[in-house]
Amino acid sequence: MSRNALFAIVIIAILIVGLGIWYATRPPTPTVKKVTLTIASPEWTPGKVIEQYSKEEFTEYAKQYGYEVEIRFDYSPWGTYYQRLSSVFAAHSSEIDLAFSDSQWIGEFAEGGHIIKINDFLDKNPDLKKALLEDTLENILLYYCVYPRRGISVDEVVDLAKQGKVDIWGVPGTADSNHPLFYRKDLFTHPEERAAFKAKYGYDLPQTYEDWKKVDWVQVRDFAEFFTRKKGEKLAGEVLEEDFYGIVLINAKDYDYISCFFLDVFWSWGAELWDEETMTAEGYVNSPQAKEAARFYMELVKYMPPGAPSIDYDALITTFAEGRAAMTSLWSSMAGIFFDPSASKVADKIGVAVMPHHNGVRYTVLGGQPLVVSAYSKNQEVALLYLKWFYSDDVQKKLALDLGFTARKSILNTPEFMNSHPWTQAYVENAKYAKDFWNIPLYSKLLEAQQEILNAMVAGQIPPDEAMDLIAQRHEEILKEAKGG
Amino acid sequence: MKRKTLTWFFVIPAILYLFIINLFPLLWALGLSFFKYNLLTERTPKFVGVDNYGQLFNDPNVWLRMQITGKFILISLPLQFILGTLIAFLLYTELYGRRLLLTLFLIPLLIAPVASALFFRFLLDANFGLVNWVLSELFGWKIYWLGSEKVPILGVEYALLTVALVETWIWTPFITLMVTAGLSTIPKSVLEQASIDNISLLDKFRYIVFPYIKPILGLALILRAMDAFKTFDTIYVLTAGGPGVSTEIITFYIYKLAFQGWDFGSASALSFGILVIILYLTTIFLDYFIFKGEEE
């Protein structure tokens, strides 16, 4: 072999080895994974706002992690949302990656293995863990994210979570946690009405936000009675062209409609649905306080529009926005329409107050939904990434200012949030009184029985005392089944 | 290939299709009715024999729903048959524009029941509905159509009557169509002869018209009775079964058992109970309206 040939071979060998080393040690080429993330949501404004924002912002955020994400929201009307979600889970379908689940469904979904526990994910993401455990209202953390919650109080949930002693299944999704009281400011401050009220009841109608904080439910009945007027009578100096009602609350049988409004009164009377420890309803849901609360609720029904058993959200919003009722109560997520002059005749005449108390006890039914990850998702990694993005400070602040509710303590008391919507002050005050009902797997059966009987009570088919006894009886049967009896 | 083998070759796909689509789910549901099974929490299905059937038989909730179903059928079916038959007779006469009228009468049948129910829900709303507005303007009173007050004389809740009336609105055209088809089979010469013989209108109906339309009325009755048992969408949209359980007919209860309580065992058992009742009623109707005629 000539020297030249040997030299050429050595050069070629060096080149091959060099190329090999370069190839082996080169930085990996970033590969972009395409993912479609499907999020189940009720068909409502918060869902649309979150969808829009996710499409604008999360897609960019995910690119940092090598994902090209397409966001798709799977909407269902509220009345059928539970059926939609539970059917998808029951079929073990991967068509949904994340879901805004109602807080009471967590037990059913967790027990069935349909959603994933996020404790490990939280441990790997300290910022998210900190936001969830240290900057979230404790009652929302407990009711939205923790299962089982038996024996865990609102006061101890954070400590237990920090010690890793509770199972966490999601982050607050739409923290529409309570419903304030809306009233007709123009009527409550009208001099003639005020004088007439004082003459009849011996005390003043509330005027300021602070006045309303002192209002007892019993006074709400007085207000409702006072303002209920017939067509042709005068109201605030004007002759009424239609009947006018003191109060409008939701009593329809669908889903959890009536329970969400009845329980405001029920809990404020000091009644309880059950003993969570012993899983007993008898003696709780039909206690003397419970029966008194039911009788009181029926007093309020007298001052509601006719056809009270079928008042749903549409009917409530129409009645109040048309200027046909003096007071109502509604979730913050839906209240925007009251203040929209194109949809409400009373847009500039509405005041917002904290939920009334009864003898110093104040509660409001917890609303809102945690955001959970489906156990059948084929994109769990991206779904968890979405969870992390969704609960980050910036996203939560932006959504809070847009929607008018949040679970984050650091946002709640900022002037920016307080001034963002007419109801925020009452929302913040109410939030600490929010209380949830059962979240055990048989929740839907308990709810169904309660809805059916409360609706019949409002329809006058069952007297209040008997209604509460019937609920106790039906709940006992269901809870017996839950206990494996 | 022998003719018999060839026949089987063509028939087997249809039988397989029938088995997969109809029989298999039916048998599966029958099997399920012997188990306690919650699909969502997925505890292991527990074989309970005929316990589900026994519990349902002794459950006052089921009997209450059966009563409501009975009332609902007893109001809506006769109304549909009377109105449907009258309209068909009207259209059978030499009425100007009868074809156009028939098309117009059929419109409710062409609209999805969910849409019809929603439309009536708005129309009949207690406070903002058009019907109550008209009543209030004309007479100064309103009716709470979806309420629990009892209807004078009938003694049922307004909500149940309203659901039955909406069902009547939807399904009367079907009866009209069936009776019209029956009437078209009567030879003109027979009716002409009857007119020449001066036979009274009642006798004409009794001895000529009714025998011709009887089998088709029987068929319509079977179809409508089966369908009435299965009414769901109208009730779901109009009242959700309320107030209380006033309009909760048995199928609505089955739906609740299955998709609110996720108790598929009890829901399947009750479905089979209803299937037996429907089969029994169908046999009676078939005997009376169709086979009895053939024997005669």
User: Which residue among A108, A252, A461 sits closest to B240, beta carbon to beta carbon?
Assistant: A252
Which residues from B are below 8 Å from A90, CB to CB? 39-40, 262
Q: Which of A222, A463, A484, A220 is nearest to A358 (CA)?
A: A220
How large is the C-alpha radius of gyration of chain A?
A: 28
pLDDT at A3: 74
CA distance, residue A143 to nearest chain B CA (Å): 20
Q: State how far the Cα of B33 lies from the Cα of B56, in Å rounded to an integer.
A: 11
Which residues from A are below 8 Å from B262, CB to CB? 86, 90, 444
pLDDT at B153: 87
CA distance, residue B41 to nearest chain A CA (Å): 4
- Flag whether A210 is in a domain: yes
User: Which residue among B125, B244, B260 sits closest to A455, beta carbon to beta carbon?
Assistant: B244
Number of H helices, E strands in chain B: 15, 2
Phi, psi of A31 (to 5 degrees): -105, 135
| A397 and A444 belong to one structural domain | no
Q: What is the mean pLDDT of chain B?
A: 90
CA distance, residue A199 to nearest chain B CA (Å): 31
Q: Which residue of A has its CA nearest to B124?
A: A307
Banded model confidence at residue A19, pLDDT cuts 50, 70, 90: confident
How do strand A350-353 and strand A325-329 relate by DSSP bridges? unpaired
Position A270 pLDDT exceeds 90: yes
Q: What is the mean pLDDT of chain A?
A: 94
pLDDT at A80: 83
Cα A125 from chain centroid (whole Å): 25
pLDDT at A28: 63
Q: State how far the Cα of A299 lies from the Cα of A295, in Å rounded to an integer.
A: 7
CB contact under 8 A, B125 and A307: yes
> pLDDT tens digit string along B105-118?
999 999 999 999 99
- Flag whether A310 is in a domain: yes
Position A259 pLDDT exceeds 90: yes
Task: Please say whether the dihedral angle defined by the alpha carbons of residues B254, B255, B258 and B260, taken in this order, is positive or negative.
Answer: negative
**Which tokens hold the place of B165?**
């009336």
- Flag whether A2 is in a domain: no
Task: Please say whether the dihedral angle defined by the alpha carbons of residues B148, B151, B157 and B160, taken in this order, is positive or negative.
Answer: negative
| A50 and A78 belong to one structural domain | yes
| A416 and A446 belong to one structural domain | no
Q: How many CB pairs under 8 A join A and B?
A: 100
pLDDT at B27: 92
- Flag whether A11 is in a domain: no
Phi, psi of A325 (to 5 degrees): -145, 150
Q: Which domain covers residue A38, as residue numbers? A: 33-176+367-435
Q: Which amino acid is at A460?
A: G
Position B293 pLDDT exceeds 60: no
Position B294 pLDDT exceeds 80: no
Q: Which residue of B has its CA nearest to A441?
A: B41
**Which tokens hold the place of A132?**
């969830």
User: Which residue among B42, B240, B244 sits closest to A459, beta carbon to beta carbon?
Assistant: B244
Q: State how far the Cα of B182 lies from the Cα of B81, in Å rounded to an integer.
A: 14
- Flag whether A385 is in a domain: yes
User: Which residue among A252, A315, A441 sits closest to B41, beta carbon to beta carbon?
Assistant: A441
Helix residue ranges, H only, B154-249: 158-183, 188-196, 201-203, 210-229, 233-238
Interface list for chain B against chain A, based on CB atoms closer than 8 Å: 38-42, 125-128, 142, 144, 146-148, 239-246, 256, 259-263
CB A98, CB A387: distance < 8 Å: yes
Q: Which of A346, A53, A59, A307 is nearest to A184 (CA)?
A: A346
CB A299, CB B135: distance < 8 Å: no
- Flag whether A253 is in a domain: yes
Write out the H or E segment, with its range, that includes residue B35.
Answer: strand B35-36
Which residue among A398, A416, A435 closes a domain?
Answer: A435
Q: Which residue of B has its CA nearest to A306?
A: B126
User: Which residue among B126, B243, B256 sits closest to A306, beta carbon to beta carbon?
Assistant: B126
> pLDDT tens digit string along A224-257?
999 999 999 999 999 999 999 999 999 999 889 9
| A119 and A172 belong to one structural domain | yes
Q: What is the ipTM of this complex?
A: 0.83
Q: Which residue of B has its CA nearest to A257?
A: B240
Which residue among A415, A435, A455 closes a domain?
Answer: A435
CB A241, CB A268: distance < 8 Å: no
| A348 and A235 belong to one structural domain | yes
| A375 and A361 belong to one structural domain | no
CB A73, CB A106: distance < 8 Å: no
- Flag whether A398 is in a domain: yes
User: Which residue among A89, A319, A460 sits closest to B148, beta carbon to beta carbon?
Assistant: A460
Banded model confidence at residue B41, pLDDT cuts 50, 70, 90: low
Position A435 pLDDT exceeds 80: yes
What's this model's pTM, rounded to 2 decimal places? 0.88
| A337 and A406 belong to one structural domain | no
How do strand A181-184 and strand A170-174 relate by DSSP bridges? unpaired
pLDDT at B261: 81
Q: Which of B169, B144, B148 is nearest to B248 (CA)?
A: B148
- Flag whether A429 is in a domain: yes
The three-state (H, E, C) secondary structure of chain A, written as one string:
CCHHHHHHHHHHHHHHHHHHHHHHHCCCCCCCEEEEEEEEEECCHHHHHHHHHHHHHHHHHHHCCCEEEEEEEEEECHHHHHHHHHHHHHCCCCCCCEEECCHHHHHHHHHCCCECCCHHHHHHCHHHHHHHHHCECHHHHHHHHECCCCCCCCCCHHHHHHCCCCCECEEEEECCCCCCEEEEHHHHCCHHHHHHHHHHHCCCCCCCHHHHHCCEHHHHHHHHHHHCECCCCEECCEECCCCEEEEECCCCCCCCHHHHHHHHHHHHCCCCCCECCCCECCCCCCCHHHHHHHHHHHHHHCCCCCCHHHCCHHHHHHHHHCCCEEEEECCHHHHHHHHCCCCCCCCCCEEEECCCEECCECCEECCCEEEEEECCCCCHHHHHHHHHHHCCHHHHHHHHHHHCCCCEHHHHCCHHHHCCCCCHHHHHHHHCCEECCCCCCCHHHHHHHHHHHHHHHHCCCCCHHHHHHHHHHHHHHHHHHHCCC
> pLDDT tens digit string along B167-178?
999 999 999 999
pLDDT at A325: 98
CB contact under 8 A, A459 and B262: no
Banded model confidence at residue B295, pLDDT cuts 50, 70, 90: low
pLDDT at A14: 85
| A451 and A332 belong to one structural domain | yes
Position A441 pLDDT exceeds 90: no
Q: State how far the Cα of B146 lies from the Cα of B161, in Å rounded to an integer.
A: 9
**A residues 318-337 near B, CB within 8 Å?**
318-319, 322, 324
Position A125 pLDDT exceeds 80: yes
Q: How many domains does chain A have?
A: 2
CATH code at position A131: 3.40.190.10
pLDDT at B176: 94
Quote the crossing angle between the two packed helices A288-301 and A443-458, to the nearest 10°: 50
Maximum separation of any 2 CA atoms in chain B, in Å: 81
Lowest mean pLDDT among A139-143, A369-373, B93-97, B224-228: B93-97
Average pLDDT, integer, range A143-172: 93
pLDDT at A276: 87
- Where do we find the tokens 């889903």? A255
| A45 and A92 belong to one structural domain | yes
CB contact under 8 A, A444 and B245: no
> pLDDT tens digit string along A417-428?
999 999 999 999
CB contact under 8 A, A306 and B260: no
| A383 and A312 belong to one structural domain | no
List Cβ neighbours of A348 (8 Å cut-off, separation of 6 or more). A341
First and final CA of chain A: distance in angstroms?
Answer: 93
Q: Is B97 left (phi over 0), alpha (psi -120 to 50) or beta?
A: left
Q: Which amino acid is at B38?
A: N
CB contact under 8 A, B242 and A90: no
Beta-carbon count within 10 A of A87 CB: 14
| A158 and A185 belong to one structural domain | no
pLDDT at A215: 98
| A329 and A472 belong to one structural domain | yes
Q: Which residue of B has its CA nearest to A460?
A: B148
> pLDDT tens digit string along B183-219?
999 998 888 888 888 888 889 888 999 999 988 998 9
CB A316, CB B132: distance < 8 Å: no
CB A455, CB B244: distance < 8 Å: yes
**Which tokens hold the place of A341?**
């002059």
Mapped onto helix, strand or coil, the DSSP state of residue B240 is coil
Beta-carbon count within 10 A of A354 CB: 23
Q: Which residue of A has its CA nearest to B36?
A: A481
Q: Which of A319, A447, A145, A124 is nearest to B128 (CA)?
A: A319
Q: Which amino acid is at B108?
A: P
**A residues 427-446 near B, CB within 8 Å?**
441, 444-445
